[in-house]
Structure 1
Amino acid sequence: MKRLYRSYMNSFKGLSREVWWLALVTLINRAGTMVIPFLSLYLTQDRGFTLENVGVIMSCFGLGSLAGTWIGGKLTDWLGYYKVMTSSLFLTGLAFFWLQGLESYYAICAGVFILMVIADAFRPAAYVAMDAYSEDENKTRSVTLIRLAINLGYSAGPAIGGAIIASSGYASLFWIDGITCLLAAALLLVVLHPAKVEVMESATNNSPRSAYRNSGYLLFIAAMVLLGFIFVQYFSTVPLFYNEVRGLSEFNIGLLLAMNGMIIFIFEMPLIKYLESRPLTQITLMIIGIGLTALSFVFLTFGSWTGLLVIGMLMMTFGEMIIFPFSSAFAMKKSRGGKQGEYMALYNIAFSISHIFAHNGGMQSIANFGFKWTWYFAMVIGILGIFLLMILQSRKATV
């Protein structure tokens, strides 16, 4: 037991103090993101919107995310990641307060779009900050630590969110989200000094290669779009399936989502440290991750035993633990020639594109073909993502 504990703790060694502070800021911020996993339920049950309406609203979510990520990348290359991160967190807190008061369908569409423009400007800036604060040999583990903070926040958030919905309704979640964003902004201002950031951002490349002209990188991005398409189903259509087909309550859905976060918190860092020591390329590991995620949908297509839902969530969780740290590290590696904000923005834009089409596509598919065929479509999309990565692997990742 002592050896296991020592091995687990050793997997965290070598990470910089600034990366730990970024992880804490992220934890505080993500601990309050209780609205997102329940957004589709909130819109259908509390506001009475149809599945088609919810699909359009979630597309606005994705469009706002795409625009915000692109703007965030440009602002990061122009102003630096420190200013972008603090401004995004502060304004996102205010936007959550404003959003919960909106009533009409079109107002909510606009509100969700504006919220995501502000909130997702944070993402490319955070990746550039992480890259600046970590050593080359620690890039993947630094990403993993931030993901641990995200998932620890998510593991607490849905469970607490389900309890809050049961006791005081959905509106309270928006206030909690807003407050945690403001707390995260305040902590970032206190623990990371701007002067040190300015020194780190001083190194530039006079002739960087644009991410939008890097064909290999664009192939990688296309695979990430397909991954994102199936991954986000677990936070929009899958909760509806849990509720409407399998009869799970919001609280039980929250517990199932919390299991995902707790498993990641406990196992991801040792898993990444172990996989880094194996003779496997980053692309091979990404292929394995997408494969596990696609395979998880098999367990949603048959039977009535609740344990099948747990097995499916476990498959998706292990796929997630592999794909996201190594894909993030791959993207950061390719951004070192310059225009880091642009490269990391494009990486995050891949998932924003997924949000635009995946939520609405999933809702429309359920409305027209049912849940089972939607899960079949998800598996096919995952296979296409694997195929793109295999092409990239065959080119020896010369991007």
Structure 2
Amino acid sequence: MFKLFLTRYINNFRGFSREIWILTMITFINRAGTMVLPFLSKYLKEDLHFSYNDVGTVMMFFGAGSFLGSWLGGKLSDKIGFYKIMVFSLFTSGLLFFTLQYVTTFYGMCLAMFCIMTIADMFRPAMLVSLGAYAKPENRTRALALVRLAINLGFAAGPAIGGLIIIGVGYNGLFWADGTTCIVAILLFASLVKEKKKEPTKEEDVTPTLKKHSVFNDGAFLLFLFNSFAVAVVFFQMFSTLPLYHKDVYGLTEFHTGLIMSLNGIIVFALEMPFVGYFERKKISRLKIIFWGSLLLSISFYILVINTTMGILLLALMFLTFGEMFYFPYSNAFAMSRAPKGHEGRYMALYTMSFSAAHILSAKSGMAIISAWGYNATWVAMGTLGMLGVLCLFVVRRILIKENN
């Protein structure tokens, strides 16, 4: 039985191209070094002494930069190619992270976060398009899961190491680590992977069908984008309000918060690829899996209202982690599957922009609700928003049924 399980587990990692493995490796290096984000709200609140509202405002600029960067990254990927965008984005943002530690004023931090995230998040739609170029069509969902596995393995290591760096040398060490890993990762990618030229899409090849199914006429995709936005607002509380909640309600240190976040990454690393392999073998509908992921993420925040013991905190983390494993690989795959040929960058840009818009509102809204009504009101509001996203999927399902009839 164990031998069969091990064989099936290993089979989930077969069939990928050399480029996909290299992309996975540099994603792990980059993500392991991304130690600033999980502690950014704590850094702004405790080291720079910003108010809750100021922290939320800075995170809004973080999201606004991410929104603009995602749009630019997708548009330019279609125009000049994903490869150039990936190299420019990671290398330049790595340099900018070095300078972030010297910004200490509120207005300076707002401007700095906007500029850094505009450049840094040009990478995301470009990287998603690269998966479509380097992965075989039948392997794309698993390739997305593999890259997410690298992200979560890096995420498992990064926060724990980041917590130790904060205790040992302070927050400035995080900015040096983040910038260095961005630059090292993209230099490895550029030296090991050759650019894959995209076949130009001639104007005369753009059929009326392609125009008819452009993104703003794609009702199912627009509803799906709202679902992505709602789920992302809920999920991003993990990086803004939850670290403060750990400290204020449970008295946890940065290191303890890092360990909890690392547990999330370890579970995803161990189980996501087997889940994806199982779902593909059973040919379970992507939309059904996305539905369950949205539902579990929403429920995880309702659970936090029962703030009695550490066990509740861990139970909520389990629901959030399983929701994340179900939702993100298949939401990526669903977004890519809706894109007509030649418009992949635009579709993936709007998909990543939904997450950027969530960055704009998630921290600000979460911090504002905490200031006015406390943590429990925030968790109820987030759970309810997630449920609205779940309801959108029912409508998407009805649209897809009509399309297939």
- Residue 292 of structure 1 deviates from its aligned partner by 0.5
Supply the distance in 2 between the matched residues of 1:223 and 1:151 (Cα, whole angstroms): 22
Structure 1 residue ranges (4+ consecutive) displaced by more than 3 angstroms after TM superposition: 200-205
Supply the distance in 2 between the matched residues of 1:371 and 1:84 (Cα, whole angstroms): 40
What pairs with 1:233-312 in structure 2 (closer than 5 Å)? 233-312=237-316
Supply the distance in 1 between the matched residues of 2:215 and 2:30 (Cα, whole angstroms): 29
Indicate if the aligned counterparts of 2:307 and 2:313 stay in contact, CA closer than 8 A: no
Q: Which residue of 1 aligns with 2:380?
A: 376
Q: Which residue of 2 aligns with 1:392?
A: 396
Q: Deviations over 1:200-222 (max 9, x none)?
A: 44466534443233222111111
Indicate if the aligned counterparts of 1:64 and 1:113 stay in contact, CA closer than 8 A: yes
What pairs with 1:1-399 in structure 2 (closer than 5 Å)? 1-194=2-195, 197-198=196-197, 200-202=198-200, 206-207=206-207, 208-209=210-211, 210-396=214-400, 398=403
- Residue 163 of structure 1 deviates from its aligned partner by 0.5
SS in 2 for 1:289: helix
Supply the distance in 1 between the matched residues of 2:14 and 2:284 (Cα, whole angstroms): 22
Supply the distance in 2 between the matched residues of 1:66 and 1:228 (Cα, whole angstroms): 13
For structure 1, which segment, 213-222 or 48-57, has the greater mean C-alpha deviation from structure 2 after superposition? 213-222
SS in 2 for 1:304: coil
Supply the distance in 1 between the matched residues of 2:137 and 2:341 (Cα, whole angstroms): 14
For structure 1, which segment, 212-221 or 349-358, has the greater mean C-alpha deviation from structure 2 after superposition? 212-221
SS in 1 for 2:400: coil
Supply the distance in 2 between the matched residues of 1:122 and 1:21 (Cα, whole angstroms): 16
Supply the distance in 1 between the matched residues of 2:169 and 2:62 (Cα, whole angstroms): 25
Indicate if the aligned counterparts of 2:201 and 2:342 stay in contact, CA closer than 8 A: no
Supply the distance in 1 between the matched residues of 2:136 and 2:177 (Cα, whole angstroms): 35
- Residue 303 of structure 1 deviates from its aligned partner by 3.8
SS in 1 for 2:308: coil
Supply the distance in 2 between the matched residues of 1:99 and 1:246 (Cα, whole angstroms): 30
**Gaps in structure 1 of 5+ consecutive residues:** none
Counterpart residue type for residue 226 of structure 1: A
Indicate if the aligned counterparts of 1:287 and 1:386 stay in contact, CA closer than 8 A: yes
Indicate if the aligned counterparts of 1:283 and 1:389 stay in contact, CA closer than 8 A: yes
Supply the distance in 1 between the matched residues of 2:41 and 2:306 (Cα, whole angstroms): 24
Supply the distance in 2 between the matched residues of 1:303 and 1:30 (Cα, whole angstroms): 31
Q: Deviations over 1:214-251 (max 9, x none)?
A: 22211111111111110101111011111111111110
Q: Deviations over 1:34-81 (max 9, x none)?
A: 000000000000100000000000000000000000011111111100
Supply the distance in 2 between the matched residues of 1:61 and 1:72 (Cα, whole angstroms): 16
Indicate if the aligned counterparts of 1:246 and 1:304 stay in contact, CA closer than 8 A: no
- Residue 2 of structure 1 deviates from its aligned partner by 2.3
Counterpart residue type for residue 319 of structure 2: M
Supply the distance in 1 between the matched residues of 2:94 and 2:177 (Cα, whole angstroms): 9
TM-score by length of 1: 0.97
Q: Deviations over 1:266-307 (max 9, x none)?
A: 110001111122353111111100000011113211142112
Supply the distance in 2 between the matched residues of 1:128 and 1:62 (Cα, whole angstroms): 21
**Gaps in structure 2 of 5+ consecutive residues:** none
Counterpart residue type for residue 206 of structure 1: V
Indicate if the aligned counterparts of 1:80 and 1:201 stay in contact, CA closer than 8 A: no
Supply the distance in 2 between the matched residues of 1:343 and 1:303 (Cα, whole angstroms): 40
TM-score by length of 2: 0.95
- Residue 337 of structure 1 deviates from its aligned partner by 2.8
Counterpart residue type for residue 213 of structure 1: N
RMSD of aligned C-alpha atoms?
A: 1.3
Over 3 Å counting, the alpha-carbon distance change for 1:219 and 1:248 in structure 2 is same
Indicate if the aligned counterparts of 2:220 and 2:400 stay in contact, CA closer than 8 A: no
